[in-house]
Structure 1
């Protein structure tokens, strides 16, 4: 529901005789028509049975870039599908060529346990639990007889698959109780009840019962009025751009304040940015939050299994929110719809999935000349491209921000409801915090693996690490204040698994391999990873072995179309640590003057606070890319005086001086 009327959306593009939409650009996300045609083409091949489920449709971006380069026929589109045939216990990656003669190019078998969990499967698993006598019996012991009000979230097994179910595609359920349809079920965890479900047969294999803990009788309403009258005194704050926003949009391409880029969207990652250039110079070829890993740090019966690859096991695309003007986005907004493939093989359009708007960002630069009594100040404007995903109880916002001085920032906003466990009244929570009556929220972590395909002044880049250290030579440092900036260039993958160190001002430069500035330095962008954490999993633990990428804060590899996801292609039911960036790096390829991919890892160690219950105020974490010798001077010296933009006095002088 929108809080206010929304701007008119771009009309749906016309269809060609083949049933695909006219593509303005090879990197445009797949349309509903294209997805429909790809699925129909795969079904016509005859290999898919009646009980086929799909996990995702995606554009073959490597092929699209070959089309752009003239290495493949113009107008050719390849769509990938992931399909699971339950009746035959088989799964495939299917490459489909669209056009005048749609056809399947390749069927690559996949372990049928491995594709991610679809929303359809999660709903079916919850239904199977409600119909299970074993599950009903466990709930009855806790005084819960109306199973229609019980919520079950299907969770990936994540390295804890019982040996007796080896070879099955299984999941387990976390259980929550509502007293009414309107109740916030996540405020009432059902402790100790763990259903194990076969996701192919939708059979409840067993229900673990770890002992009765009374369910909380304390509600956690989120709706208006749930905690009393609204706080008074909040006056309207309107964002008015009487002449419209400063950006221009052509399909999925955007231009703003010297920036040009394309917006993309994938089933796995959600929002993607392509081909970012600033002042006609290339900066990034691709940017996205590539994976999210969330391990819980509590050994209790309903928490110890929790360690999720939210993107690889569920997919950011189908979890994407429709955003509402005045609620999720404020100002003069340009929305982009997104399309995903449902488990039933039908495309689903997510209206207003991506929000783009401008914001005032305070001072860009300023100097007050006290001798002359003259002040020069420029205000900063920033462009924000964002989307939001809801993963069961948690909500995550991803905000890519472009600035007028060439900086790029990724801000991840964490909010929603903390995952909770039930405890007995008066018990301690040694691995978390008590936040309500008979409710504790465990300590946990969030890791965001980011993918940055760099293009700093061209396709060929290198990675350099820099840190500060005191000059050790007393002859060069007679006053003890001289500090060197120390550079370490990485030439091989094996060198490029790095950790942050704020105590030495450690950061990284992504340098052009063949362009220099007027000072003879390679043109570059600086990468700062502002928020991260480390793993506390003991050696040999599932948490330590399952997502090795979290043990470093930055990885670097040469571009390879086969190496797409930092934690591996199919983490669901994977052998811990079998795939991912730590495996690719064993090839020890050159990263000196190559098409380079950086894999920064943002993170937060979350020891909950009672003030984050029953819903969490946003906690934000960041990374930043900033020009570092990319320009010879401040590139924002040409930004207009704010008074010239808004108003001037009768003499024409700036009222900001």
Structure 2
């Protein structure tokens, strides 16, 4: 691909030697771990794998000198459909590789692999039942049919409750290069046994015409490209301001490590600013997407996209000049494929700087002197494609100590077929015979706090009108009231814009010069709430979405906000709402924050056939962490010129 002038890149390629305990697993390490598990002799020929993960708790013990340098522990999840049986397998790599432990897992529970999804689609195309249902709609060339294997959580028919099953949403192309997602095949629902790859049945809810309107996404698909766009060059003639050593990054006082996991994709470790710790770990931990439409092809749709598919296997290879513009540093990544072989993702994570407008400014009118500093931010990003949807995760670090996560939602809306002129109560018509349903996106984030050290406390802050008239003679006084959240049972909270609600993560060990605990402020500007009835699958299956912030004490056994294995799980049996019942003290603890940001998506016709980017944000910023603005040392942009900014 042609790169715009000034767009250049460097990469951290797949490693053969580990340089740090928290480095992501390399392809060689993943393959070695699988080989050790196979050599144990318990796995048969029809074994599939769902994930290889670095044991981060053990890695930190290596960092602390409790284990030999270079020793690595890897967790595998394997499913042997010949037995049948499934296990979590702990493997030690190093001088004497071996399996440490095999823990049985319900074989229905691990996530759906891409290998399984492709096999399920083939099974549908070969099924006489499926072919007959398509023929009733005038579709006879099944090679042009697209089937997405969907998780069935909460809607497993009683007669199949002991099977590992999936269901298929069905789309049609009129030719090989057609965009299938604009042509939903309404009413056809295949149910597939993922162990045997047998199509158990095909529901047919009645023939609805398939849309004839195309939705091409390639250039020129809707006429000539818009004219008049001049080149926009991003040029850093002296190179970028960051430095990269393996997976360690330094930039403008920030230090951190870049990681990657099968479940979460991009992870950031040990973020510190100006020599002081801020976060031990940061990642998008889970994504839950419920659809709010009772139609036959939509009512089952409620997905744990990370827990049931994995962010790692869904990660894009990013293209210079398209996904990333300017002077770019890429990190390659690797994950374990369903067949047991390591898969590499080249250019999986993008690191670059951006100008971010004004950082601070004051124009002294009396003296005729203007002082202005421009802001620059460092962005670490990745993109995941979940069938029709595409999600970008952009972590930004700023020169004033602020951290922001911006989640970009784009791609294609999930659509249903409708009769011409039909009433659409739970979505929007976007094309002839096509409606896109109302749905929601919940992003369960994980922030392991380390604000000025490992021991923190959580405090909620709300605006409150002064209730003591002695302190409010003019009726205008407002206080910010701080309420410590001292135990887990009280740390399940919702946002309240009416009181400017936010949360302080305070150090339990350090104070600023004003006698306050040093702290960072957490703000959640984009949230939504469930509307499903309490007894519904959607309400019971993902209890974490009923709050906007949870907090727990750090525990290596409590890794995922929605539970370890949400696929075909009993609704609500695992996750943060269960851990909180322990009601552990949060007063001077190693805190894990679980913010839940999201979007209530009522579609617009302008989002068809592809969505312009929607954005969801989280902000984590200093709040008394410093005694003054830490960005007073940013260079004057007019230095070396006759006028401000060279004008």
TM-score range, shorter chain: over 0.9
Cα deviations by residue, 1:508-547 (Å, 9 ceiling, x for unpaired): 0000001000000000000000101000010100000000
Q: In the alignment, is residue 277 of structure 1 matched against residue 293 of structure 2?
A: no
Aligned with residue 492 of structure 1, among 472, 487, 490: 487
- Give the equivalent residue in structure 1 for 2:575: 580
Distance in 2 (alpha carbons) for counterparts of 1:343 and 1:466: 46
1:358 equivalent among 349, 353, 373: 353
Counterpart in the other structure of 1:23: 18
Within the alignment, does 1:218 sit opposite 2:220 as a pair? no
Partner of 1:18 in structure 2?
none
Residue by residue, what CA displacement relative to the aligned partner does 1:361-417 show, whole Å, maximum 9, x if unpaired?
Answer: 000000000111101000000000000000000000000000000000000000000
1:227 to 206, 214, 222: 222
Is contact 1:643-1:654 (8 Å) kept? Answer: yes
Give the length in aligned residue pairs. 645
Aligned to 2:9: 7
* Structure 1 residue 308 displacement after superposition: 0.1
Aligned mates of 1:408, 1:429 — CA distance in 2: 41
**Match of 2:641?**
648
CA distance in 1 between counterparts of 2:451 and 2:2 reads 40
Question: Structure 2: which 5+ residue stretches go unaligned?
Answer: none
> 1:17 matched to which residue of 2?
none
Give matches, 1:508-523, under 5 Å.
508-523=503-518
Residues 74 and 499 of structure 1: CA distance in aligned 2, closer, same or farther (over 3 Å) = same
CA shift in 2, pair 1:492/1:475, >3 Å: same
d(CA) in 1 for partners of 2:285, 2:231 = 37
Task: Check conservation: 1:269, 1:316, Cα contact below 8 A.
Answer: yes
1:139/1:655 CA distance change after superposition, 3 Å: closer
Distance (whole Å) between structure 2 residues aligned to residue 348 and residue 544 of structure 1 = 36
The structural deviation recorded for 1:9 is: 2.9
> Residue 282 of structure 1 contacts residue 457 of structure 1 at CA under 8 Å; is this kept in 2?
yes
Equivalent positions of 1:250-649 (< 5 A) are 250-644=245-639, 647-649=640-642
Distance 1:33 1:330 in 2: 31
- 1:55 matched to 2:57? The reply is no
C-alpha displacement of 1:626? 0.4
List structure 1 segments (4+ residues) > 6 angstroms apart after TM superposition: none
Deviation per CA, 1:196-247: give whole Å up to 9, x if none.
0000000000000000001000001100010000011101111000000000
Report the alpha carbon displacement of residue 72 of structure 1 after superposing the two structures with TM. 2.1
Identify the residue that residue 152 of structure 1 maps to in structure 2: 147
Distance in 1 separating the partners of 2:3 and 2:632: 39
User: Equivalent residue of 1:333, what SS?
Assistant: strand
Is the alpha carbon distance of 1:54 and 1:566 closer, same or farther for their aligned partners in structure 2, counting shifts above 3 Å?
Answer: same
| C-alpha displacement of 1:476 | 1.4
Q: Secondary structure at the match of 1:623?
A: strand
Contact in 1 for aligned 2:13/2:331 (Cα 8 Å): no
Task: Kindly provide the CA deviation profile for residues 488-525 of structure 1, in whole angstroms up to 9, marking residues without a partner as x.
Answer: 00111000000000000000000000100000000000
Picking from 86, 108, 126, the partner of 1:91 is 86
After TM superposition, give the deviation of residue 37 of structure 1 in Å.
Answer: 0.6
How far the C-alpha of 1:332 sits from its partner, in A, is 0.5
Hey, what's the Cα distance between the residues in 2 that align with 1:189 and 1:48?
39
Cα separation, partners in 2 of 1:2 and 1:28, compared to 1, 3 Å: farther
Kindly tell me: are residues 409 and 40 of structure 1, through their superposed partners in 2, closer, same or farther at Cα, counting changes over 3 Å?
same
TM-score by length of 2: 0.99
